[in-house]
Amino acid sequence: MRLKGKNILITGGSSGIGLAAVERCLEEGAAVVMSDLPGNGGESLASKMSSQYSGTCLFIAADVSDTCQVNTLLTEMHNHLGSVDGVFNNAGIGGLTPTTEVSDESFQNIININLTGVFRVARGALQIMEKQGSGCIVNCASILGLFGQSQTAAYTAAKGGVVNLTRTLALEFAPKGIRVNSIGPGYIDTPLLKDLSEEMREFLVSLHPMGRLGRSEEVANAFVFLVSDEASFITGANLQVDGGFTAGKS
């Protein structure tokens, strides 16, 4: 029970990597706040998780692109559970669009959710963690936080920003007993990929030396390690969970 006694917030928690992280944290003894947009079935999922595991699982709806909602989310979590010990900054959106067809609004929307949203959640959590003198934040970056890819201008810009934001927050808050790291998943077999053609799916598989897509629970396992006391001397790191995708690139 590596997370026994810890209170963990997971954004984007109602599906894919986020939901896998919720389950793993509950298995490890944490109390979990699952957050996502309203209407994603979060309430029923949290209720199911609470009955399935011995730990507490609460759902609090929040849009990470809205500062007031993010601040309310963290205040409610603190009021319900008494502390914010760990955060998985996982909410995000993707998509492929030729750069010349990307509107200002579309570009800003992806930046607002994938980068500024990560900042909003981190800022609110850090304000609480400073008073506690402890805490850990893990931001979900991407392999595309390190490398470019055609037709992903906004996404790669955002994820590259997440990687460097992580390093900056780690430096600033290490003296205060707070750790900040990021995870860089490769292509993970989640509902986001369900509409891909078989040809595109095979192409994505071919990018990974291990010869397959990743599984949500493999990213969740990395999060559990980083948020646990086993990673107590790790901060400012970007842990690639990518089946070797980035190993041969520089």
Catalytic residue IDs: 155
Q: Whole-angstrom Cα distance, residue 192 to residue 209?
A: 22
What is the torsional sign of CA 121, 122, 127, 133? positive
The CA-based diameter of the chain, rounded to the nearest angstrom, is 51
Q: Which amino acid is at 172?
A: E
Q: Whole-angstrom Cα distance, residue 16 to residue 207?
A: 21
Helix (H) or strand (E) holding 138: strand 135-140
**Are 8 and 227 spatial neighbours (Cβ–Cβ below 8 Å)?**
yes
- Residue 240 has a CB neighbour count (10 Å cut-off) of 21
